[in-house]
Amino acid sequence: IELDDVDGLGAGAIGQPGQRAFYLQARTESTQLTVLVEKEQVALLAAEAVAFLDRLQRPVRASS
């Protein structure tokens, strides 16, 4: 499945602790996709997103 021009991306959980279902959602103008995932996958995605945003804040060094 390919989603061009994603308008929204999110992660969430439904249920009580210990019995939760975790999911990722992507939305375009005409489509919404929900994928059931493991808790560790959501945690890894969040960690990578934070690292990516940290890299965006660093000044770019000129190469010599």
Q: What is the pLDDT of residues 42-56, one digit of tens each?
A: 999 999 999 998 998
In single-letter form, the type of residue at position 49 comes to A
| CA angle centred on 36, ends 32 and 41, rounded to 5° | 115
The percent of residues above 90 in pLDDT, for the chain, comes to 64
CA 28 to chain centre: 15
Residue 35's pLDDT is 95
Residue 25's pLDDT is 95
Confirm if 36 and 20 have CB atoms less than 8 A apart: no
| CA angle centred on 22, ends 21 and 27, rounded to 5° | 125
State which H helix or E strand residue 25 sits in: strand 21-27
Residue 64 predicted with pLDDT over 60: no
